């Protein structure tokens, strides 16, 4: 349920395209973040473009994927959008002969536009992001408004509808999916491609000066809304906050799914590692250091981690819809009480946490502001409705104290302190302190992640044994059949709760759709003569997994083997990296791409994302990505994925993914880069890694060094490897990895699965 209150505020802001088209972020999109990969979020320092290894800084803002927060800096802009030759998806389909050009106008768009002129609305355009009110990457079905209005189901994307046009922006992971799902009424904007305007640039070009652009302020972070307001103001457009109504909901009506109501559960201390009282004590110490007396937490995974709770409101993510307000004296959880079991109620009471209705958060914010409370707000995650409620009530408080200047000012007077924080009338706007604390895993969380990955590896060994046997017997299996069978094997493992994202099961050309999701009746048969890409993960009571393998059931071509091997070489290079403790993710990203670059290939997504411990499969602030604006260093105890890939459109996809544990400061969740032009298809290798201390001979400058520990143990198909391309050291890495896979996983499987594991972990020998 949304919380709505009448206010009249207008907002605007500036977007900054990066110097190179391949490095441009996705400005208007949704998060961090289905994204199966890194969301397009960036941080900038004034020196970020002038140094290969900038001094790590604490980002003041964590921008949502739709917009980028900018300070004063040079601006590269497209001045005449009418000259841009971005092709609508309809034109691309006409070339394939798959679209009837006489298709009637989209009924949903027509109904939406009819609302523009209604009393109390009065807008010329409407922006529909992917997020819910908590800036979540995965969201409940009832909040999938952008998907409903456009038909595009990718996790990242922003729809913009004017009175006569409709456009959707998404990043390189979803170009092919967008072509398939958008009808002829929509223009597909391939964010990051040369000549493609940002959504704000496009609005400034297609709207007459002085137009009004509407948004639902609950669905935009504070800094995203401020950026949009400022950017469209360049053409005298006004950003209109529609507090009382969401226009998509007005169209959706009775067919809209109901709000989620799954019961909350306690995340046991043996998995959490730290009790709630201790975590709250840590948070209050952070408030004291920042000069605040309270904090509002809206990110769902931060609330779940802080309170040692897990929920089931969001598919694939064990979180519940809630807000949290922590003051120096009390803690209030704003949540639907019907989700609170007696066990959870007792757990919260023991930690001193009071329950409040989910819908009363705005009145609480207003009450705090009227008392002059110095409130900590993370502008990248707090929605604009909360931020503006606080500002309005704060202005009233200042007026009551005789602060005439502030009461007359339209906007709060803000100054930037040396710590990088910004002060409003009675608040501090800076990144949440919970994000980094959550990202650095404690020993209990790491142990749970290791155990969960071993059980998951056992399930995958059983699955691959079954699948190879079925394919060799000539069985006709769809991509959905395969995905469902994998789920069956995982469900047999102790502690299994859910998948950690929708399984990507792609045969042949479908593997080139980076976030492909097969659907019953609309998917392919798994072809033994084509590459098969499987990207999947699970939520266990003690950990979260994410793994990708690409295989061939027949004989791969020389080209497929070369591409796969170069992806593998990049995977190995990142896995073996040793780096100073101040290193940021974009420095490591090139390790994974360099072998593809040597032959003129690349991929359109980041190389690694953070992973939660029995929480969201994507978490910040850490990442490994080409996006150099993210200046957060990695820290010991963080977990990150290692997933380079290669994709040839309409042919295949390759990816190899593992999870890694490591030791570094923190990074944020960036976007997906552009890659070079591909022919068709893709490969991926993905493991998860843990950051650990490296035992180096020297410590130059007194700085410690870090390395990775593998968490994922599933064989990499050896027949996909072109051995002649590998060095002796790379062959040794692969053989050592397979030796560890056998040693760790074989005690957990038996029978045919044990034989399969043995066969697939034998040493690779150069002929």
Q: Which one, of 595, 615, 598, 575, lies nearest residue 716 by Cα?
A: 575
Burial 683-702 (b: 16+ CB within 10 A, else e): bbbbbbbbbbebeeeeeeee
- The chain-wide mean pLDDT, for the chain, equals 82
Residue 109 CA to its chain's centroid (Å): 28
Q: How many CB atoms within 10 Å of residue 544?
A: 32
Question: pLDDT tens, 305-362?
Answer: 999 999 999 999 999 999 999 999 999 999 999 999 999 999 999 999 999 999 999 9
CA–CA dist 632, 665 (Å, integer): 6
CA–CA dist 100, 26 (Å, integer): 30
Of 2-11, 560-569, 629-638, 728-737, the range with the lowest mean pLDDT is 2-11
CA–CA dist 537, 459 (Å, integer): 11
Question: pLDDT tens, 196-225?
Answer: 999 999 999 999 999 999 999 999 999 999
Residue 35 is predicted with a pLDDT of 36
Residue 672 is predicted with a pLDDT of 34
Torsional sign, CA 466, 471, 473, 476: positive
CA–CA dist 560, 555 (Å, integer): 10
Of 117-121, 555-559, 651-655, the range with the lowest mean pLDDT is 651-655
Of 1-15, 645-659, 726-740, the range with the lowest mean pLDDT is 1-15
- DSSP tag of 523: S
Identify the band that residue 655 occupies on the pLDDT scale cut at 50, 70 and 90: low
Answer with the residue of higher pLDDT: 701 or 708.
708
Strands 125-128 and 531-536: unpaired
Residue 517 is predicted with a pLDDT of 81
Q: How many CB atoms within 10 Å of residue 455?
A: 22
Residue 43 is predicted with a pLDDT of 29
Residue 647 is predicted with a pLDDT of 85
Q: Contact 421/428 with Cβ under 8 angstroms? A: yes
Question: pLDDT tens, 447-473?
Answer: 999 999 999 999 999 999 999 999 999
Looking at the chain, the whole-number percentage of residues with pLDDT higher than 90 is: 67
CA–CA dist 633, 671 (Å, integer): 17
Mean pLDDT to the nearest integer, 73-88: 33
Of 26-30, 333-337, 477-481, 642-646, the range with the lowest mean pLDDT is 26-30
H-assigned helices in 380-525: 384-400, 404-408, 433-439, 443-472, 479-491
Residue 657 is predicted with a pLDDT of 54
Residue 57 is predicted with a pLDDT of 28
Q: Contact 637/442 with Cβ under 8 angstroms? A: yes
């Amino acid at each position: 349920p949304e919380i709505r209150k009448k206010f009249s505020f207008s907002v605007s802001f500036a977007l900054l395209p990066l110097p190179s088209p391949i490095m441009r972020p996705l400005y208007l999109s949704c998060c961090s973040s289905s994204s199966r990969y890194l969301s397009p979020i960036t941080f900038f320092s004034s020196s970020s473009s002038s140094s290969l290894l900038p001094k790590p800084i604490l980002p003041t803002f964590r921008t949502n994927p739709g917009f980028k927060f900018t300070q004063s800096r040079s601006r590269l802009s497209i001045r005449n959008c009418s000259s841009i030759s971005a092709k609508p998806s309809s034109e691309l389909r006409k070339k394939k002969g798959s679209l009837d050009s006489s298709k009637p106008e989209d009924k949903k768009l027509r109904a939406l536009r009819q609302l523009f002129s209604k009393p109390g609305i009065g807008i010329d355009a409407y922006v529909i992001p992917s997020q819910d009110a908590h800036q979540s990457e995965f969201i409940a079905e009832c909040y999938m408004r952008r998907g409903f209005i456009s038909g595009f189901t990718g996790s990242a994307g922003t729809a913009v509808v004017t009175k006569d046009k409709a456009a959707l922006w998404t990043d390189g992971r979803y170009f092919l999916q967008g072509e398939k799902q958008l009808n002829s009424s929509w223009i597909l904007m391939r964010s990051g491609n040369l000549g493609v305007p940002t959504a704000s640039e496009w609005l400034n070009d297609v709207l007459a000066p002085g137009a009004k652009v509407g948004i639902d302020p609950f669905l935009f972070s504070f800094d995203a809304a401020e950026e949009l307001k400022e950017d469209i103001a360049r053409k005298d457009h006004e950003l209109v906050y529609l507090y009382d109504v969401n226009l998509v909901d007005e169209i959706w009506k009775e067919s809209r799914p109901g709000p989620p109501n799954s019961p909350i559960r306690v995340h046991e201390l043996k998995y959490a590692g730290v009790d709630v009282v201790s975590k709250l004590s840590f948070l209050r110490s952070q408030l004291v250091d920042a000069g605040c007396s309270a904090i509002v937490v809206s990110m769902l995974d931060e609330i779940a981690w802080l309170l040692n709770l897990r929920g089931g409101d969001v598919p694939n993510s064990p979180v519940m819809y809630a807000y949290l307000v922590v003051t120096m004296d009390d803690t209030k959880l704003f949540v639907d009480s019907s989700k609170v079991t007696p066990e959870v109620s007792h757990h919260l009471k023991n930690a001193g946490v009071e329950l409040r209705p989910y819908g009363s958060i705005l009145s609480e914010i207003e009450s705090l502001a009227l008392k002059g409370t110095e409130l900590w707000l993370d502008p990248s995650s707090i929605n604009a409705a909360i931020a503006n409620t606080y500002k309005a009530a704060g202005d009233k408080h200042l007026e009551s104290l005789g602060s005439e200047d502030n009461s007359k000012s339209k906007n709060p007077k803000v100054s930037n302190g040396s710590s990088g924080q910004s002060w409003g009338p009675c608040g501090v706007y800076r990144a949440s302190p919970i994000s980094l604390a959550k990202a650095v895993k404690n020993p209990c969380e790491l142990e749970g992640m290791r155990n969960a990955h071993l059980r998951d590896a056992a399930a995958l060994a059983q699955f691959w044994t079954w699948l190879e046997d079925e394919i060799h017997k000539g069985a006709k299996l769809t991509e959905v059949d395969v995905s469902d069978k994998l789920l069956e094997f995982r469900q047999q493992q102790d502690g299994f709760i859910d998948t950690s994202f929708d399984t990507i099961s792609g045969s042949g050309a479908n593997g080139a759709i980076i976030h492909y999701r097969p659907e019953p009746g609309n998917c392919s048969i798994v072809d033994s003569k084509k590459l098969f890409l499987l990207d999947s993960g699970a939520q266990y009571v003690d950990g979260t997994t994410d793994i990708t393998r690409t295989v061939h059931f027949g004989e791969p071509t020389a080209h497929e083997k070369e591409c796969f091997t170069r992806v593998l070489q990049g995977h190995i290079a990142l896995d073996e990296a040793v780096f100073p403790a101040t290193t940021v993710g974009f420095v490591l990203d090139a390790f994974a791409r360099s072998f593809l670059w040597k032959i003129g290939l690349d991929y359109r997504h980041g190389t690694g994302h953070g992973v939660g411990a029995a929480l969201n499969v994507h978490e910040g602030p850490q990442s490994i990505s080409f996006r150099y604006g993210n200046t957060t260093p990695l820290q010991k105890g963080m977990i990150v994925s290692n997933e380079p890939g290669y994709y040839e459109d309409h042919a295949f996809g390759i990816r190899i993914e593992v999870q890694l544990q490591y030791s570094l400061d923190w990074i944020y969740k960036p976007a997906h880069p552009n890659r070079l032009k591909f022919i068709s298809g893709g490969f991926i290798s993905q493991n998860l890694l843990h950051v650990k201390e490296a035992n180096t001979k020297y410590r130059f400058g007194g700085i410690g060094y870090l390395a990775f520990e593998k968490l994922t143990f599933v064989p990499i198909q050896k027949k996909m490897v072109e051995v002649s391309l590998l060095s002796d050291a790379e062959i040794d890495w692969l053989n050592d990895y397979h030796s560890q896979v056998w040693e760790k996983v074989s005690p957990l499987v038996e029978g045919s699965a044990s034989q399969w594991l043995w066969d697939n972990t034998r040493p690779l020998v150069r002929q």
